[in-house]
Amino acid sequence: MTRIAVAGVFVGGAATRMGGLPKGLLLAPDGKTLVERTHAMLLAAGVREVVLVGAHSDYGHLGVPMLDDHPPRIGPLGGLIALLERARGGHAVAVACDMPFVSTRMFERLLAAPEGSIVAPRGSCRWEPLCSRYDAATVLPFALHRAEGFNHSLQGLLDEVVATELALTEEEAFQLRDWDTPADVSRER
């Protein structure tokens, strides 16, 4: 199992498709907020430090450390850079706050996967960069270079660094569904 320096739950989005409601505070089917559920599962999988990525005042009551994007206003890449810097050359796990069905077992598989600069699930020809493991020492220079330019795509970063695919069963791929809109939440309840 790869030792993880830090895991980050990404909460920094504006949630415009949710009418401004912070997605991580939605209730998962088990009754916990999505952020609390993900936080607990990461700890259960063996991660020692979990932070929220994207300082967002709505999450302050949880008492979980928060990281500001670095640099700000470039989307998830800024959050990933802040997380990789926090990892201090170790490994980091990045997770979106809006996946109500991801399991502790999925995180355990991610931690146990063979070494790679980035280990990520891939579905429908797209990477899942926010349920992935990163070797901070290797990936940070690439991420910083992308931040200086105009292409801030996490998909592009995973392609550039040549991510290793974490093969998923059909059930595991189902776990990666996210809630982006009120219709997603209604459909899944």
Decide if 127 contacts 133 (C-beta within 8 A): no
CB neighbours (10 Å) of residue 45? 21
- CA 127, 128, 131, 134 torsion: positive or negative? positive
Backbone angles phi, psi at 126, to 5 degrees: -125, 140
Which two three-digit tokens encode residue 91? 């490994």
- What's the domain range around 134? 4-188
Element (H, E) at 133: strand 131-135
Higher local confidence (pLDDT), 188 or 12:
12
Per-residue model confidence as pLDDT tens digits over 100-135? 999 999 999 999 999 999 999 997 779 999 999 999
Backbone angles phi, psi at 162, to 5 degrees: 65, 70
Q: How far apart are CA 15 and CA 36, in angstroms?
A: 18
- Mean pLDDT over each residue of the chain, to the nearest integer: 92
pLDDT, average across residues 72-89:
96
Cα atoms in the Cβ-side hemisphere of radius 13 Å centred on 52: 27
Q: What is the pTM of this model?
A: 0.94
Angle, helices 154-161/76-86, rounded to nearest 10 degrees: 50
Predicted confidence at residue 17, as pLDDT, reads 73
Per-residue model confidence as pLDDT tens digits over 14-39? 667 777 778 999 999 889 999 999 99
Please tell me what DSSP assigns to residue 14. Answer: -
Report the CATH number that the domain containing residue 57 is assigned in CATH.
3.90.550.10
The alpha carbon of 59 is separated from its chain's Cα centroid by a whole number of angstroms, namely 16
DSSP-assigned states of every residue in 27-88? BPTTSSBHHHHHHHHHHHTT-S-EEEES--GGGGGG---EE--SSSSSTHHHHHHHHHHHTT
Decide if 155 contacts 118 (C-beta within 8 A): no
Predicted confidence at residue 29, as pLDDT, reads 86
pLDDT band at 189 (very low <50, low <70, confident <90, very high): low
Query: What is the count of structural domains for the chain?
Result: 1
Predicted confidence at residue 180, as pLDDT, reads 80
